[in-house]
Amino acid sequence: MTAYREALKEQTRERVPLAWAMTQMNLGTALWRLGEREAGTGRLEDAVTAYREALKEQTRERVPLAWAMTQVNLGAALATLGARQSGTTRLEEAVAAYRAALEERTRERVPLQWAMTQMNLGTALEMLGERESGTTHLEEAVAAYQSALEERTRDRVPLDWAMTQMNLGTALEVLGERESGTVRLEEAVAAYRAALEERTRDRVPLDWAMTQMNLGNALWKLGERESGTVRLEEAVAAWSECLAVSTFVWPPEWVRIVETRRDAAQAEIKRRSGNGSGGLQGVACSAGRARAPRRSRPGRRR
């Protein structure tokens, strides 16, 4: 970061405008990565400023793909800021930056970068949707994830495919919570199960455990809306799989959440089977849903 700022003393906008813009972009990326590791937002705000400076010379007309790349980086910094703030302004700005990038990062021109940008757009839309009472942004998030999967195929990029399936599942699960039927929850279960085809315990045990936890959450919600015990039993099985790994590596409070849900589901199974009393009431499920970590940083140049 210091090196980039030193470089800007000589690589001035007046002297070498495009080199100045590239250095501003690299400075922004360094600030963003620092900001991700810190609790505050100062570095992230500085990253946003640096990216916006870069865009003054990295214009769409002059360098369209570099402009799009910087828009993606700007979107990533704004989304990280938005996740830490209570309002929606930064998330809306992130969505706008990703959509701008897609004007040049087209599927025909750069298919995998297009897919990555669709995935990051979906993540920003999903965060927006979680903070709003309607479902428009969540529906748009689902559409963005599904678009990403058109190029992020299992054959081409299996772990990226699985990560996108995971994100699709979380958006569908939130939609399912807000709807009275079970269609979206069924689709969320299918997405999580698809993710587990590549997110295996042997290959990526922590991602596998996270996906098992989310699968359990969606199955539990289905079980609450149905009279039998099949879905609840499947939820218990998924959470038990999760705990086989997470017990040893997750923070204790996270482990307790999963254990509490598993125990509540087991009690409800007994109650429905006529073997005891209990229920699922009073145990919040949504608090433990986890969004898939991005394996490809949204702003990483390719």
Confidence of residue 1 (pLDDT cuts 50, 70, 90): confident
Q: Given the structure tokens 């970590």, which residue do they identify? A: 293
For residue 229, pLDDT over 50 is answered with: yes
What's the average model confidence in pLDDT over 170-194?
A: 96
CB 214 within 8 A of CB 230: no
Q: Please state the φ and ψ torsions of residue 192, each to the nearest 5 degrees.
A: -60, -40
Query: 56-76 as b/e, with b when 16 or more CB fall inside 10 Å?
Result: ebbeeeebeebbbbbbbbbbb
What's the average model confidence in pLDDT over 76-101?
A: 96
Residue scoring higher pLDDT (281 or 256): 256
What's the average model confidence in pLDDT over 190-203?
A: 98
Give residue 203's Cα distance to chain centre. Answer: 20
What's the average model confidence in pLDDT over 128-138?
A: 95
For residue 225, pLDDT over 70 is answered with: yes
What's the average model confidence in pLDDT over 8-23?
A: 95
Contacting residues for 108 by C-beta, under 8 A, at least 6 apart:
none
What's the average model confidence in pLDDT over 110-132?
A: 97
Mean pLDDT of the chain: 92
CB 293 within 8 A of CB 281: no
According to the model, what pLDDT value does residue 290 have? 55
According to the model, what pLDDT value does residue 302 have? 38
Q: Where are the alpha helices (DSSP H) in the chain?
A: 2-10, 17-37, 42-54, 64-84, 89-102, 111-131, 136-148, 158-178, 183-196, 205-225, 230-246, 252-272
Distance CA 6, CA 26 (A): 13
